[in-house]
Structure 1
Amino acid sequence: MTASNRRTPAATRASVLQQLLPGYPAREHWRLVPATGQHYLDVGSGEPLLFLHGNPTWSYAWRKLLPTLAPHARCLAPDLPGLGLSQPVEPPSDPRARYLHQLDHLDALYHHLVRNEGVPPSGWTFAVHDWGGPLGVAWLLRNPGVVSRLVVLNTIAFPWPDGYRLPFYLRWIRDHRPVAATVHATNAFARATVRLGVTHRLSSAERRAYLLPHARRGNRRTITEFVRAIPRNPADEAWRLLTPPDGDDCLGRLPMLIGWGMRDPVFTPLILAEWTRRHPHAVVHRYPRAGHLVMDDAGDELGAHIRDFLRGQR
């Protein structure tokens, strides 16, 4: 019997899956958190650098940064529960706790990495994008002393600034159940993101790779839920993710790099201006020709800037 014939069905599926993910790290870098089934990448060595993606992306979004950063940091890139290669999750029935389960999964990932994978309990860098911003900042505020540096990429972690208006298509999905149901059925939000979220056209293979984990209708629930959860005022349950505790200046003490795609229709220059107003100590890099998926549009330049930031260079 040949080696290929001895493969288990699971191993065969994983091998086929890897072939469909151009640029994604090899299977030996894939990991699961035993307690939750959350999938994550573990690439490189050095101090921990945790990437937190948004919606509707997954750890595939970081593929262009990893070759530059893995020689300088232990790059850990989870798929948020219900997205990418992580197992789907049933959200809590209590709506007040619905998004706390995302933070609970981050807790489980952290404890798994520290207890079982030799990752130090402190000295971490977080790189956050889109929904990864409010989730990552909420987690680091709940766990002071773990995160030593923060990389901010087209996201928000405070109430929307005065004058900001959410794009109409997000309002439609968020506020109208029939629209949300149609988007869920057609995977329209993810399909639009891989085309309109970049200014430099992705290859057809890259677009397919982004969409692959959510090709089946049953795997798209979290995508729609995240859009419908976008907080717009204090009455929304996820608003607390955008409101740090009063008097907490933890972020003001953290070294911070802000890398911003200036052609993002959602996280606009108005939001970047609010980041810089709140955190004038931050190192800021603007990418004039990059869109929402700044890690795709400006991958080489962004990777070099993060590498220099990790080295203590501006």
Structure 2
Amino acid sequence: MVSTQAGRGPALTATDRATALERLLPGYPAPRHWRRVPATGQHYLDLGSGEPALFLHGNPSWSYAWRKLLDRLSPHARCLAPDLPGFGLSRHLRPAAGVPDPYRVQLEHLDLLHEHLVRNEGLPERGWTLVLHDWGGPLGIAWALRNPGVVDRLVICNTVAFPWPGGFRVPFYLRWIRDHPLVADAVHLTNGFARTAVRAGVHHPLRPAERRAFLRPYARRSERRAVTDAVRAIPRDNDDPVWRLLDPSGADPAPTALPMLIGWGMRDPVFTPQVLEEWARRCPHAAVHRFPEAGHFVMEDAADELGGLIRDFLQGPR
């Protein structure tokens, strides 16, 4: 966990604490925006005012990945960015036995987060926008399906919410971690997946302090179980049970029929242009914006332009 107390000695002033936090987590919102869900201890950010926009990160990132977009969008919306259970500043999960099923846990926590925000924080029950990246994509779409009428709009960033398109293969290094327990154990021991992601996931390199901030919640082996489990839960084929969570049969309308903005980093080694084209085929109504010089973390590489597009989308007609 993050601490702003640098050892023993005189108590830090508010200015000293803010300086220490900026050094540890450059660009991350101040603690006055930090919240926790009482029932679960899940950490989330709460910035701005207006209609709610829920930002769901992927693996191995956390709410830190949204900091640039939150800065741009919080003047225009109530921006809520949770750390999924086991990630970031949320409570870390106990080691899973056998093949993990993190989807159920994550969906239950999203239900409790929404209930808390409506009941205790005065947010509307409906009229939400979901901003989805990586693993947050299937989670957000599955959550919208189990909560019909709550979500009004979708922002899609380098993710998937349907069975893999024909000919697509999960990259070999993810298959190795997913399918071979000894490889998964080695990656878990070294934090290799997260260390690689913060370099390979961007086209424009992060500053060293930003890379350290991304990795800080996973400094100890006991704090990275969710990272490894999420890779092990990647669907193997189109018959994988996880896809049933995304089956829109009977949904009226299906979440993917909602107004949609797609912002896509074209240099993503995992969610390749082939996946984007499947989004465009399935959702011809979507406004698609391709960023040729952005990688997997499109919100890092194209923050200014993507933030402006999302701002206009939030202010446009439903």
The alignment's TM-score, normalised by the length of structure 1, stands at 0.92
Contact persistence 1:261–1:292 (CA under 8 A):
yes
Match of 1:131 among 131, 135, 138: 135
1:91–1:98 contact (8 Å) kept in structure 2 = no
Question: Partner residue of 1:280?
Answer: 284
One-letter code aligned to 1:65: L
Task: Say if 2:249 is the partner of 1:246.
Answer: yes
1:270 aligns with 2:286: no
Give the structure 2 partner of residue 111 of structure 1: 115
Alpha-carbon distance between aligned partners in 1 of 2:292 and 2:237, rounded to the nearest angstrom: 30
User: Is contact 2:45–2:81 with CA below 8 Å preserved after alignment?
Assistant: yes
Question: Counterpart of 1:122 in structure 2: which amino acid?
Answer: R
Structure 2 residue corresponding to 1:184, chosen from 160, 184, 188: 188
* Rounded Cα–Cα distance in structure 1 between residues aligned with 2:60 and 2:100: 23
Deviation at 1:237, TM superposition (A): 4.4
Cα deviation digits, residues 35-79 of structure 1 (max 9, x gap): 101000001110000000000000000011112100100000000
Partner of 2:52: 48
Q: Any conservation in 2 of the 1:233–1:239 contact (CA below 8 Å)? A: no
Q: Which residue type is aligned with residue 183 of structure 1?
A: V
Cα deviation for residue 252 of structure 1 reads 4.5
1:224 maps onto 2:228 in alignment? yes
Distance verdict in 2 for CA 1:123–1:29, change over 3 Å: same
Deviations 1:223-273 (A, max 9, x none): 0000010002255443333x4142534135310000000010100110000
Q: Which residue matches 1:31?
A: 35
Deviates further, 13-22 or 149-158: 13-22
Give me the CA root mean square deviation. 2.3
Give yes or no for the alignment of 1:171 onto 2:171: no
TM-score, length of structure 2 as denominator length: 0.91
* In 1, Cα distance between equivalents of 2:207 and 2:98: 41
Query: 1:252-311 deviations in whole A, cap 9, x for unaligned?
Result: 531000000001010011000000100000011110000000000000110000001011
Mean CA deviation greater in 289-298 or 84-93: 84-93
Contact 2:36 2:42 in 1 (8 A): yes
Q: Secondary structure at the match of 2:25?
A: coil
**Is 2:57–2:63's contact at 8 Å kept on the other side of the alignment?**
yes
**CA distance 1:25–1:96, change in 2 (3 Å):** closer
**Which one of 212, 234, 237 corresponds to residue 233 of structure 1?**
237
1:257 is paired with a residue whose SS is strand
Counterpart position of 1:150: 154
Letter in 2 for 1:129: H
Q: Where does structure 1 lack aligned partners over 5 or more consecutive residues? A: none
Contact 1:83 1:222 in 2 (8 A): yes
Cα 1:29/1:98, change in 2 over 3 Å = closer
Q: Residue 212 of structure 1: which of 203, 216, 220 is its match?
A: 216
Q: Report how far residue 91 of structure 1 moved.
A: 6.9
